[in-house]
Amino acid sequence: MKHHVIISIAALMTLSACGSKGTSGSEGQTPVDLAVTTDSMENMVFPLPQIPSTISKPEDQIGFIVIHFWDNFDFSDKEKSLNLTFMERNFVDYLTLIPAAMTEDRRMAFSELIKRASVSPETRSLIIGLGEKYLNDPDSPMKNAEYYADFVEAAKGS
């Protein structure tokens, strides 16, 4: 239940952040409701990290979630980590939270993701491809040059 509240807060923060920044491609974008899953999607997502009770500020909670988003995922599980549908769904959910995170948390989150995905060259390549597709493709509603630059920097640093 607590995750649903956090995700709802994150979604609201994301929507307000997108609206105030005026990033290209955000007009007409339908927000993703991460708190609702259908029966067919329940097996496609993994649990969010448990936020320590000592973290009370919403911006710190979001930072914790984006940095630790992938903690409960086993990147060595090739069946899941190389499943494009599964990974794409979770990657999009992850990116939906990124606009609500502070810059340093976003950068750390990208670094953590790349580090974890580097367990295998194939998984790392898949994650890099998803970053390219969603953060740099001109047709992506999530395109964001600043986030993409941070993502590429994280990939270079790993």
pTM of the predicted model as reported, rounded to 2 decimal places: 0.74
SS (H, E, C) the chain: CHHHHHHHHHHHHHHHHHHHHCCCCCCCCCCCCCCCCCCCCHHHCCCCCCCCCCCCCHHHHHHHHHHHCCCCCCCCCHHHHCCHHHHHHHHHHHHHHHHHCCHHHHHHHHHHHHHHHCCCHHHHHHHHHHHHHHHCCCCCCCCCHHHHHHHHHHHHHC
Per residue in 28-50, pLDDT (tens digit) is 333 333 333 333 434 677 788 99
Mean pLDDT, residues 8-30: 39
Residues 34 and 82 sit within 8 Å (Cβ to Cβ):
no
What is the rounded average pLDDT for all residues in the chain?
Answer: 81
Task: Write down the pLDDT at residue 96.
Answer: 96
